[in-house]
Amino acid sequence: MWRFVLVLLFSGTVMADELTLERLFASPDLAGASLRQAKVSPDGARVTFLRGKAENKDRYDLWEYNITDNKTRLLVDSDLLQPVQIELSDEEKARRERQRLAGLSGIIEYDWSDDGRSLLFPLGGDLFVYHLGVAADKAVTQLTDSDAFDTDARFSPKGNHVSFIRNQNIYVVSVDDGGERQLTFDGKGPIKNGMAEFVAQEEMDRDTGYWWSPDEQHIAFLRVDESPVSITKRYEINANNIEVIEQRYPYTGEANVTLRLGRIELKSGDIHWIDTGKETDIYIPRVKWLPDSQAVAYLRQSRNQQHLEMIKVDLAGESTSLFTEQSDTWINLHHDWRFLDDGGFIWASELKGFKHLYHVVPGQKPLKAITAGDWMVDAIVGISYDQSKVYFTGTYDSPLEKQLYVQDLDTQTPDKPKKITQAAGFHEITMDDKATVYIDTRSDNDQPPQTSLHRADGERITWLNENALNKNHPYYPYLQAHRPNEFGTLKAEDGQTLYYRMIKPAGFSQDKQYPVFFYTYGGPGAQLVNKAWPRRLFEQYMAQQGFIVFVLDNRGMARRGVKFEAPLYKQMGSVELDDQLVGVDYLKSLDYVDADRIGIFGWSYGGYMALRALTQAPDEFAIGVSVAPVSDFRLYDTHYTERYMSTPQLNAEGYEKTAIYGDTANLKDGRLLLIHGMADDNVLFTNATTVMSKFQDHGILFESMVYPGAKHGISGEQAQYHVYKTIYDFFERKLTGVD
């Protein structure tokens, strides 16, 4: 907070422009210039990143910061290569929706060659290579040019090839001569080679289906057969037409895809299939080559997600089980496993209640703890093999922050990591392969993301994007009206600590009573109460319009350990609402809160929570806005839902209680605004229409707003503006007496 005060004191007179809804979603972004996908080059000479255009914050170009000459410059202007926005393929639209990239254009991803001499980026379905050290007019080479849409492209480990997916098959192209080879041939219809299936992209944080060996001689890949998954006819209602989409959607309790794990010999093109066991109803969430390229390892996850096994397969096809985990609830997936020279590996586990790092040597017990204590590791960001150190982010200082720490692999004090970052807030860290430097993107509730380059010990080398809140910053005119976050704690019924944050309205007075904008998510895997710059400034807008903003993280949400997450097992929507009602009770105890004017808002799982609150606790909330909600988890996918609820066949009572339908008669007239995208392929529009029908059957009046052609995120500047204008209008009419 001190930094924010200093900005006000030393920046001269701060303008007091009104923060409008139009400005929230216009360009340039109020958070200031943002750097996406910042990466240190393999040779450590530069940092590359994607930056939105000043006139269009959602269209990205490729930039670099050169460490040698301390200069930041534009490398590739996406408009020069492709000045006209092209129509994406359906597969690419779906992939971008899964990766939360819908609505972005230009260069949205890129890859470094291992020698640090070239950059690869896809644009408009074709692949381009940017060669460093070459005259600007000759620096860019178009590598592919076809009518198909080439995706998931990357350099091979030694930079001799570029691999990619075209028409559901794996291809490679020579960087030297542009010669192209097709490696798989049966990809079509329900067969997809080297591609991530729907639940892998949406729920496992895996958006690829193939992996190069370090020696560049082999490619491991998954062959996905979607045939067992039933076809759902999904109606995408657009502004001027209706498309019937036959989507293979794996509803909870029903069939998943079947998977085959294979290995392609690059020289011969031969495919060797790997035996993954007799049980085929499994998941393969992770695949990784061992450093010597003589074996590939994969994680084999049971359908109920209570059993996870790491298996190594050598080039002769011999399998060895390296590690097994078991849980009575579920096992959270992660990317934190690294193979070491001693034949062992680093593995992250929640076996003692919090996610921590362990040094595992197959056949040796007990596991050697690298970190320990009542806090958790977020992710490994780097390993210095020379110094036997592991760098990671975590919650050692506070679960409301994310800081960078380092620990010796052979430490005797796993409960005492060394802290590297010092400033309070959230630090998103990207480290180079040798763990010598790192990129730190830091923010807090009052400071939008700043990006800097540091040595491994924390010393700052330079700002990549200081993003100072000075008179040149887009948010500068609105600083005087900016409202601070206040943090506090409450107790759940089992005694666990619940964190909340509150933003008091402009012109706050203890002698007045205010309506409440009660913002919730509630579901697992997310955290809303933290010390990070918000994804959008709608909370600030609502506070400046006279609302108290209140956010509480209930049991089941992320970054608090197994004990905090597990209570929702087989009963989603129960403890979450119980905890949110603890927040309501607290608000009603405050003299400056109008207990009759508390409105709840949520999106996705938060939309589900808003519906649940209005139907199960109708006297506690005056109104609610539910965006893209699940109304019945029997309509959601296998991997996500079964992780927390088991299957409808094994937990029929739990699913029945979790569904909104049984309580729809409790909704009071005029209390609900229901919003949904009419082409949502994640939380299907059926969730909205089914619950709408139930409310209508009971004769209950409610409001709705639907968006033709919109997916789950209802993306796009104009659509986002309209969504939030609609939300604000409902709160204003219902809670300020205008209606």
3-class SS letters over 268-325: CCCEEEECCCCCCCEECCCEEECCCCCEEEEEEEECCCCEEEEEEEECCCCEEEEEEE
Residues near 456 by beta carbon (within 8 Å), at least 6 away in sequence: 382, 384, 391, 406, 420, 431, 435, 436, 437, 438
C-alpha dihedral sign at 201, 206, 212, 213: negative
Helix (H, G, I), strand (E, B) or coil at 730: helix
Give dist(CA 348, CA 367) in Å, integer.
11
| Cβ contact 636:644 at 8 Å | no
Spatial contact of 425 and 439, defined as CB atoms under 8 Å apart:
no
Q: Any idea which residue has 């009759």 for tokens?
A: 596
Strands 307-314 and 295-302: antiparallel
Q: Give the active site residue among 604, 631, 646, 715.
A: 604
Q: Looking at 454, 553, 712, 715, which residue is catalytic?
A: 712
Angle 410-411-413 from CA coordinates, rounded to 5°: 160
Verify cis geometry, omega within 30 degrees of 0, for the bond prior to 708: no
Sole residue written with tokens 């002698």: 511
293 is catalytic: no
Find the length of the chain: 739
Q: How distant is the alpha carbon of residue 364 from its chain centre?
A: 35
Rounded Cα distance, 472 and 475, in Å? 9
Q: Give the strand pairing for 140-142 and 485-491.
A: unpaired
**Catalytic residue flag (residue 712):** yes
Q: What is the largest CA-CA distance in the chain?
A: 80
Provide the terminal-to-terminal Cα distance of the chain, rounded to the nearest Å: 38
Catalytically annotated residue among 111, 336, 637, 680: 680
Taking each helix axis as running N to C, give the angle between helix 575-588 and helix 605-616, from 0 to 180 degrees, rounded to the nearest 10: 70
- Number of neighbouring beta carbons within 10 Å of residue 688: 25
Nearest to 226 by CA among 252, 249, 201: 249
CA distance 560 to 375: 7
Best CA proximity match to 160, nearest among 174, 172, 181: 174
Q: What is the DSSP letter of 15?
A: P
Could you confirm whether 78 is annotated as catalytic?
A: no
For the annotated catalytic residues, the residue numbers are 604, 680, 712
